[in-house]
Amino acid sequence: MIGKEIISEDIIPIAKVKEILSSRAEKIELGYEQGISLDYTNKFSKMEIDDIEKASEELTKNVPRLKKENIVKIVDIVPEDKKDLEVLFSKERLILDEEEINAILEIMAKYKK
């Protein structure tokens, strides 16, 4: 990493990482770390990019208290029940009420593979 500089930084879902690394793999040979990361994304990516964008918009609209980091966690993990959401938000200061939890679970059920 000597001589490298961070130009920008953003939180993105695993599916987007998969897309970026796959397009790079077509052009050049990936380094060891990038190859491992691509393998990881292939195993754990649970949604398509289009579905992630739609689900993110719905989550932002229906549960406005969620931050971008929370939404990315939700679309990466794709929680199936209330316990999954409780685990995701266990270290957050944000406490969701029943209505918000149900809204999140309904939205994620629509877009689940």
Instruction: Please tell me the distance from the alpha carbon of residue 101 to that of residue 77, in angstroms, as a whole number.
Output: 15
Dihedral angle over CA of 40, 59, 95, 44, nearest 10: -10
Angle (nearest 5°) at CA 48 between 46 and 51 = 110
pTM to 2 decimal places: 0.85
Instruction: Please tell me the distance from the alpha carbon of residue 35 to that of residue 40, in angstroms, as a whole number.
Output: 9
Q: How confident is the chain (113 residues) per 10-residue block, as mean pLDDT?
A: 76 94 93 94 92 95 95 95 92 90 95 78
What are the sequence ranges of the domains in the chain?
1-45, 49-111
